[in-house]
Amino acid sequence: MKKNIVILGVGLVGKAMAVDLQKKYHTIAVDINQDALKVLNTDHGIETIHADISEEETLNKIIADCDIVIGSVPSHLGLDILKNVIRAGKNIVDISFFPEDPFQLDELAKENNVTAIVDCGVAPGMSNIILGYHNAQMNVNNFECYVGGLPEDREWPWEYKTVFPPIE
């Protein structure tokens, strides 16, 4: 039986995760933006739900039968969504990068037997996890991580585009 994954927020990154995950898992994409959902459903056959997940009752209904939640919402929604998913007793991997300290939810997660992996993008995110793993195995004195940046020559079609709101 396929695992059920719910992705909350299907902007540029959430959409890519949904497309990849639906190849092996039953994936449900949730967003308030109907256009984003339509592309996923029409082009990729992904189940979609149009909803305002800032309402806790709505969120709880959507994630009730899932095995894991992926949070990919704008950062200003991140902490509240994470808190509500933890209250619902669901494990979550979150890439929302909200400014608040996620460790304030540590006790709540423990009380609800929930694993919450936060800030799990590429960098920061996986680069930090990889560094932490290697630092636990050996003493790392120096670490440099190159993860893109602004191109010296901006050429079409790639140029450079910020794909997330950098001031949130």
What would the pLDDT profile of 33-66 be if each residue is shown by its tens digit? Answer: 999 999 999 999 999 999 999 999 999 999 999 9
Who's near 59: CB < 8 A, 6+ residues apart?
8, 51, 53, 81, 84, 85, 88
pLDDT of 44 reads: 93
pLDDT of 162 reads: 59
pLDDT of 163 reads: 58
Contact present, 91 and 115 (Cβ < 8 Å): yes
Residue 154 is assigned to a structural domain of this protein: no
What are the tens digits of pLDDT across the range 87-142?
Answer: 999 999 999 888 899 999 999 999 999 999 998 776 667 777 788 888 889 988 88
Residue 167 is assigned to a structural domain of this protein: no
CATH number at residue 94: 3.40.50.720
Domain hosting residue 36, numbered range: 4-137
- Cα 110-114-116 angle, rounded to 5 deg: 105
Which one has a higher pLDDT value, 148 or 121? 121
What single-letter DSSP state applies at residue 125? B
**pLDDT(151) > 80:** no
Residue 165 is assigned to a structural domain of this protein: no
| Domain count for the chain | 1
Q: Return the HEC string of 71-122.
A: ECCCHHHHHHHHHHHHHCCCCEEECCCCCCCHHHHHHHHHHCCCCEECCCEC
Residue 36 is assigned to a structural domain of this protein: yes
Residue 29 is assigned to a structural domain of this protein: yes
